[in-house]
Amino acid sequence: MYKRIVIKIGTKVIASPDRNLDKDIVKDLASQAAAVINNGSEVIMVTSGAIGAGLSLLNIKKRPRDISDLQATAAIGQNYLMRLYGEFFKKAGYLTGQILLTQEDFDDRTRFLNIRHTIDRLLRHKAVPIINENDTVATEEIRCGDNDRLSSLVADLSGADKLIILTDVDGLLDEDGSVIGYVDDITPRIAKLAVKSRCDLGTGGMSTKLEAARLAMRAGIECVIANGKERNVLTRMLIKGDRLGTIFKSGARRFIAKKRWIAYSSKPKGALFIDKGAKDAIFKNKSLLASGIVSVEGDFVACDVIKIIDDEKKEIARGIANYSSRELAEIKGLKTAKFKEALGREGPDEVVHKNNLVILENHSCPN
């Protein structure tokens, strides 16, 4: 039995053939999730469907292109969607708690940890967290695949041991159209099987789901992509133990939680270009010093996550900067003894401390 499970519900799963929100499907999924909780697991829901619900309520046939119209549609739909989840879970004996997130919540370490604490407290009170992208304020985030990625980020930060992504297909299909039952590594062949898609109601495709599965696997979380319209899909998988959809094997956690946050959850605000000597040093598990920095890109402040680019223009690492981009423009290439003269103050010897630096995958070097 899995202790904590994140269930992501795609827009097309809860849409009826006439493109309206299907209340019966929402009710059924809530009932199944409640049964899983009764069986001893904790459940966190990541749901799409706010924009689709809003389109239905407003009787709009096509997804708006204007961002303000899209955000207003999401605001109307989100309220209705939460009312349904609240009503159906209450009938099963559980309260719900709404959490709306944007990428900024994951970029800030304090906010990131606050999300985790809130989820933990909701679960302690036997309430079901219902999470969605905050489409009413986000702009860049209203794009293909956000809630697929969001579900994997939530699974990692909450310490889940299972991520289930429910969609409108039976799983990842091979070249002959048959479901691939088990994937232990997302190879180039597997990645090519994903087909990007877009519709007026939803914004995801198999490629975004594969990326979510990849993030989950890196965090040591088993992921399943399955058909949400399959009868009793949740109870069959999580109570009876049936194998449905495509199972993505959990990998060994390569990084501790903070370093996974640096590498995968936060979005870099800038980049540091370094010379070969600095590259060799960080590959030997040393900190990044200003003397090895060739140039600075972007506008960021101290404590932001930044990319580290080597002398071959390849991103090799990410880390938390101890200085702002303006300060680094003044001290790049300098020895630590020159910092006070350049900045008018003393500061840390390290631009990125080794404890806050992550060597990315595909680079065989220590961490």
Calculate the CA 221 to chain-centre distance: 13
Question: Where exactly does CATH 3.40.1160.10 map onto the chain?
Answer: 4-257
- Whole-number pLDDT of residue 1: 84
- Whole-number pLDDT of residue 365: 46
Phi, psi of 30 (to 5 degrees): -65, -40
Question: Rg of the Cα trace of the chain?
Answer: 22
Whole-number Å distance between alpha carbons of 164 and 155: 10
Residues lower than pLDDT 50 in the chain? 141-145, 196-203, 364-367
Structure tokens at 37: 């909780």
- Whole-number pLDDT of residue 103: 87
Which pLDDT tens digit goes with each residue over 89-117? 999 999 999 999 988 899 889 999 999 99
* Domain at 268-359, CATH from 2.40.30.170, 2.30.130.10, 3.40.190.10, 3.40.47.10: 2.30.130.10
> Tokens 């429910």 appear where?
166
> Tokens 């994140």 appear where?
6
- Whole-number pLDDT of residue 244: 97
Structure tokens at 16: 């009826």
> Tokens 């949400």 appear where?
228
Domain 4-257 has CATH 3.40.1160.10: yes
CA distances to 40, 110, 111, 131 from 114, rounded to whole Å, are 25, 6, 5, 14
Question: Where exactly does CATH 2.30.130.10 map onto the chain?
Answer: 268-359
> Tokens 């088993």 appear where?
222
- Helices 109-124, 146-157: crossing angle, 10 deg rounding: 70
- Whole-number pLDDT of residue 367: 37
Classify residue 250 as left (phi > 0), alpha (psi -120 to 50) or beta: beta
Which pLDDT tens digit goes with each residue over 172-200? 999 999 999 999 999 989 988 986 444 44
Name the residue type at position 55: L
**Collapsing DSSP states into helix, strand and coil, what is residue 214?**
helix
> Tokens 């046939």 appear where?
61
- Whole-number pLDDT of residue 200: 47
- Which stretch of DSSP H or E encloses residue 314? none
- Whole-number pLDDT of residue 144: 36
